[in-house]
Every structure is written in C-alpha cells, then in structure tokens.
Amino acid sequence: MNIGTAMDETSRTGKAYAEIKNPERLLKANMFGTIVITLDDAEPRLLVSRDAVQNDGDCEFVFVRSSKNNFQTRRVEVGLILDSGMEILSGLSEGETVVVDGSFLLKTEVLRSQIGAGCCPDD
C-alpha cells in the first residue's frame, strides 16, 4: 500500500494506492468503494530525532558518542519518517547515544574541507 502525501483541504480526504485482486472483474475503473484497513500488531521501531539524522548528499548518517568527547560517524538506513522522529532500519542499535543538539555543527566540521574554502578562485 502506498499512501499519498497530499490532503484535499475541502473534503479532508487523501489518496491511498493498493493492489487489489479482482479475479471476477467486478471492480471497474473510476469506481469508489469503502475499505477497512487492519493493521497487525506493530513491531517495535528504533526511532531517533529528525535533528539527529544528517545527509551528505550520498547517504544518511548520525553521530554516535564513542567516549566523553569523541563521536563516530555512523551510516544509517532510514525507514519511515514520522512527526516523532525517523525510523532507523540499520546502522544503529538500541541504547546507543546519538547527538541531536549540535549534530549539524558536527557535520560541518566533518565536511569542512568540502565547504567554502577553495570553491571560488581569487580575483
């Protein structure tokens, strides 16, 4: 199932796209219907704050505290993006401490050699 990102302001409805088996060909194009969506018991998800996840253009990563003043860059695979945070599918384990406040600052330090200096020739 794929759920659209737009909501009609007037009707307060959205679109969801699902593949439906229709072996008897009772459903026709442009027909409307009512469906009931049943969700299985939700599996626990590993969520981090959206501010913790950075992107360098090629991948998403977080900074994991390795000691009091040291941080390790850790590539992560992001799943669902929710209001409450981002789901981490791989690259991080429960209980690891990630940087939230200051994560962008750490990113600029790591990528400093690629930002600004040397991008424009001196006249």
Q: Are 66 and 72 in contact (CB under 8 A)?
A: yes
Average pLDDT over residues 50-65: 87
Question: Lowest-confidence range among 32-36, 85-89, 119-123?
Answer: 119-123
Our measurement of the distance from residue 52's CA atom to the centroid of its chain's CA atoms, rounded to an integer in Å, reads 11
Which residues are CB-contacts of 106 (< 8 A; sequence separation ≥ 6)?
A: 63, 71, 99
Q: Where are the domains of the chain?
A: 2-114
Alpha-carbon separation of residue 99 from 3, 78, 116 (angstroms): 31, 16, 24
Tell whether the model's pLDDT for residue 87 goes beyond 50.
Answer: yes
pLDDT band at 110 (very low <50, low <70, confident <90, very high): confident
CATH topology of domain 2-114: 2.40.420
Q: Which residue has the tokens 């088996």?
A: 21
